[in-house]
Amino acid sequence: MSRQPTDHADARRRVTELVRHARVGMLTTTGVDGRLVSRPMTLPEVEFDGELWFFTSARSAKVRQIRVNPEVNVSFPDQRRHGWVSVSGSAREGYDRARAERLWQPGLTSWFPDGLDTPGLTLIKVHAGAVRYWEPAGGTVLDLLDAARAAVTGRQPCAEQDREAGY
């Protein structure tokens, strides 16, 4: 049975669990023509700490789109429980070899045959602004407000009415 998280740490653990089950998220960017564009992305690291990381090609359309408009959404289905997680925030592209080494998984060679030495390999970091998840047993959407900001500032999540303000 689903229950509402009692605190920020409990909510983060629940989101991590839901994302871990999904492992593939739909990254939505805004195309240069203003239309939303979604594509599946494999999540190499599943511990949710307010940031999501993805490997991609620096020459990809999604990287060009992020450079123009960094606001993105990543959604993860929880097929076992028929729920979902939605992470909205800002993205940026950049290659950090040390981070890439920590995140690399052998299955990524399907897309990047030369591994970490694949020409044009880069990372996309999504910094969460807001996280929502829904589980049918609970019947409601739960907001996890600005997980990254709360983790950095140590502030408590905003009151319910503030959640509606678009945090």
Question: Domain holding 94: CATH number?
Answer: 2.30.110.10
Strand pairing report for 51-57 and 36-42: unpaired
Q: For residue 47, is it within any domain?
A: yes
pLDDT band at 167 (very low <50, low <70, confident <90, very high): very low
Number of structural domains the chain divides into: 1
Q: Decide: 134 and 83 in contact? Cβ < 8 Å.
A: yes
Reported as a single tens digit per residue, the pLDDT across 99-155 is 999 999 988 999 999 999 999 999 999 999 988 887 665 444 444 544 444 555 655
Residue 48: exposure state from Cβ atoms within 10 A (0-12, 13-18, ≥19): buried
Q: For residue 59, is it within any domain?
A: yes
Q: For residue 90, is it within any domain?
A: yes
Q: For residue 101, is it within any domain?
A: yes
pTM of the shown model? 0.75
Q: For residue 3, is it within any domain?
A: no
Reported as a single tens digit per residue, the pLDDT across 8-56 is 677 777 777 777 778 889 999 999 899 999 999 998 866 777 889 999 9
Q: For residue 165, is it within any domain?
A: no
Q: State the CB neighbour count (10 A cutoff) for residue 150.
A: 18
Range of the domain at 41: 8-158
Q: For residue 81, is it within any domain?
A: yes
Q: For residue 67, is it within any domain?
A: yes
**CA dist list (Å): 115 to 95, 108, 167:** 14, 7, 37
